Copies of this chain bind each other. A is one copy, B any other.
Amino acid sequence: MATSANTPNTLLLKNPSIFKTTSNSGIHTFPIPRATVKPFSIKCSSSATAVAPPTTTQDRLFNFAAGPATLPESVLRKAESELYNWRGAGMSVMEMSHRGKEFLSIIQKAESDLRKLLNISDDYAVLFLQGGATTQFASVPLNICKPEDPVDYIVTGSWGDKAYKEATKYCKPKVIWSGKSEKYTGIPSFDDLEQNPDARYLHICANETIHGVEFKDYPTPKNKDALLIADMSSNFCSKPVDVSKFGIIYAGAQKNVGPSGVTIVIVRKDLLGNAQEITPVMLDYKIHADNNSLYNTPPCYGIYMCGLVFEDLLAQGGLVEVEKNNMKKAQILYDAIDGSNGFYRSPVEKSVRSLMNVPFTLEKSELEGEFVKEAAKEGMVQLKGHRSVGGMRASIYNAMPLAGVEKLVAFMKEFQAKHG
């Protein structure tokens, strides 16, 4: 709808009853009156005065959190408009039976849109699960290994290390390369990898959220029957990926595609049905694949939110366009760091710097606290580095607007001019 900055708009509330208490409610008025109406135009006397202005984009902070992270503003507005009564269904998505036609349409659309985004073939099942990537650290070996099976792990950061440690309970994992001695700032050359020819799979963490190290290409398991498995939690749907190279891809949703509480697993169907006997039923991929992620009650609202994000990513032109935006955002931020004559420093090898998580330090480390504090004053929050590594970290996932990165870069230059 067209609106002019000079002409105030109004929303008509025909039914004051929505402000009244409900018979079983202890809350007797809604704290904030709300109208949910379709586009319209009305005239209103300019004598109208509001006690408080409506929420505006200006109220919105630039949130550089590593996850849960910023979501597309348009997706939040849509969720807001549908929260109380989803598309005339007479209830919130949070209240829908997971077996009712309304929710089935939501989860089926979400899966179909995700398949479009990543061009996922019918050879793969797409599962919407719970428990985060940390649950998958156990699910992967439990589903595709026998206890005595050797498997290989490339450890490029804390998450890959956690995945390896969990696997020791269910198979015979080996760390064939670790970046720990270099403080997780690099990725190995694939030719130098000493893969076990008998390994059942090769596991990588495609993007290390804490250390800002990202695989730009993927290694091939030595054994042609071995599987490449990737934790893509923090760069899932940030760029196109050839799913056919992988046996299993898993990701927590709370970085690029939704709120926390949803874990997406993309698993090749021929791998299903071989879970170890000790596998909890909720960790058995076949159970969920056979039931279209509805074996038990799924995290319905989170799946709905992921669906809204998938629609938004498709509307942007798909992951090719999304990647372009992400490269542009990362480029100006890394350029600012590299062009600071050492005032700002990126510890990560240039060739494997993450497009999603940008850790950096200050030459004068005693200023880091002030940097974070001053940035927050200007509406840029969650810039403190992970407690395990210190420094700063700017997470710039899909939903971080270019304007947010531009504002951060401008602030960095001001801060350097003031303290350089």
Known: A1-B33, A30-B78. 15 other contacts (CB 8 A): A8-B14, A10-B10, A12-B44, A12-B50, A32-B38, A33-B37, A33-B39, A37-B54, A40-B51, A65-B95, A65-B96, A67-B97, A94-B260, A134-B281, A261-B298
Interface residues of A in 23-74 (CB under 8 A from B): 23-27, 29-40, 42-45, 47-61, 63, 65-74
Contact indicator B32/A42 (Cβ below 8 Å) = no
Cβ of A101 to closest chain B Cβ, rounded Å: 11
C-alpha spacing A170/B76, complex, angstroms: 43
| A48 and B83 contact, Cβ closer than 8 Å, known pairs A91-B63, A278-B169 | no
Please indicate the chain B residues that have their CB under 8 angstroms from the CB of A26 in the complex. Answer: 74, 312-317
With A77-B84, A280-B135: A18-B54 Cβ-Cβ less than 8 Å: yes
Q: A135-176 CB contact bits vs B (8 Å, 1 = yes)?
A: 101110010000000000000000000000010011000000
Q: Find chain B residues with CB under 8 A from A12 CB.
A: 8-10, 44, 48-50, 54
- Scan residues 161-207 of chain A and give those whose CB is less than 8 A from a CB of chain B: 166, 169-170
Alpha-carbon distance A32/B77, docked complex (angstroms):
8
Contact in complex: A316, B13 (CB < 8 Å): no
Bound complex: CA of A20 vs CA of B97, how far in Å? 34
In this assembly, does A302 line the interface, its C-beta being within 8 Å of a C-beta of chain B? Answer: yes
The copy count of this chain in the complex is: 2
Q: Does A79 contact B (CB under 8 A)?
A: yes
User: Which residues of B have CB within 8 Å of A361?
Assistant: none
- Chain B residues near A24: list those with CB within 8 A: 72, 316, 325, 398-402
- A residues at B contact (CB < 8 Å): 1, 3-5, 8-27, 29-40, 42-45, 47-61, 63, 65-81, 83-85, 88-92, 94-98, 100, 130-135, 137-139, 142, 166, 169-170, 252, 254, 258-262, 277-278, 280-283, 295-302, 305, 311-317, 325, 379, 381-382, 398-403
Q: Which of chain B's residues have a CB closer than 8 A to the CB of A89?
A: 61
A355–chain B nearest beta-carbon distance, Å = 14
Contact A166 B280 (CB under 8 A): yes
List the B side residues contacting A76 at CB < 8 Å. 83-84, 92, 94-95
The answer to whether B65 and A97 have CB atoms under 8 Å apart is yes
A282–B56 contact, CB under 8 A? no
Most B-side CB within 10 Å, residue of A4, A37, A133 = A37
What chain B residues lie within 8 Å of A58 (beta carbons)? 15, 17
| Contact residue among B19, B37, B83, B298 (Cβ-Cβ distance under 8 Å from A260) | B298
- CB-CB nearest 6 A-B residue pairs: A26-B315, A261-B299, A61-B90, A3-B16, A26-B316, A138-B280
Distance to closest chain B CB from A222 (angstroms): 28
Output the least CB separation between A77 and chain B (Å).
4
Q: Is there contact, CB below 8 Å, between B56 and A37?
A: no
The residue of chain B having its C-beta at the shortest distance from the C-beta of A262 within the complex is B261
